[in-house]
Amino acid sequence: MFDKKGRFKQQSSLELLITLSFGLAILLPIVIIAFIQVSNSNTSMSAIESQQAASKLSSVATLVGSEGPPARQLVQINVPPGVENIYVGNTLYGGVGHEIIFQIASVINSSYISTYTPVNVSGDLGGIASQGTYLVNVTAQAQCPGNPSVQCVYMQPVV
C-alpha cells in the first residue's frame, strides 16, 4: 500500500488537488454567468416597474390637464431600486415639456424609460429617486412655475 517514504499518499493528494482545480475552473465561469443574468434581470424588473410608474403619472397628468386649473390629484407611485433620477417635462424651455423620464442605473450604463403626455408637464421629482412608495401631487396650473406663459400640469412629491 504505502511505501516507507509515503509516496502513495502524496500521489493521491496531488490527484485530489488536480480534480478540485478542474472542478473550480469549470464552476467559476458558470457562477459569473449566473451573476450577470441575475443583474440583468434586476435591471429588467426596474425598467418594468419604472414604466408602470411613468404610465401612471402620465395618465393622471392627462386627466388633471384635461380638467384644467385648479384640478389636482394625489397619486401613489412605487419607485423601484436602481432609479437615479426622474425628469418631468423638459430641461429646456423652462422645464415644460411632454415627457416623464425615469433614469435607471445598470451594470454597464444608464437607461431611460419615458412616457409621452399630451398635456404640458413640469415638476421636480428628482428628490424621490430612491427606492420606495411616494405620494405625488399632480396639479393643473394656469401659469407653470418654470414658464408662466403656458398652462401645465405640475408634479411635486408630498412631503
DSSP letter string, 91-139: SSGGG-EEEEEEEEE-SSSEEEEEEEEEEEEEE--GGG-SSEEEEEEEE
The pLDDT, as a whole number, for residue 5 is 60
- Domain assignments of the chain as residue spans, ordered by start: 37-157
Distance between CA atoms of 129 and 103, rounded to whole angstroms? 9
The per-residue pLDDT for range 99-152, each reduced to its tens digit, is 999 988 877 778 899 999 999 999 988 788 788 999 999 999 999 887 888 899
> Residue range 4-13: average pLDDT?
64
Instruction: From 88, 79, 85, select the one nearest 139 (Cα to Cα).
Output: 88
- 81 three-class SS: coil
Q: How far is Cα 58 from Cα 121, in angstroms, rounded to an integer?
A: 9
pTM equals 0.74
How much is the average pLDDT of 74-88?
91
Contacts of 94 (CB under 8 A, 6+ apart): 122, 144, 146, 147
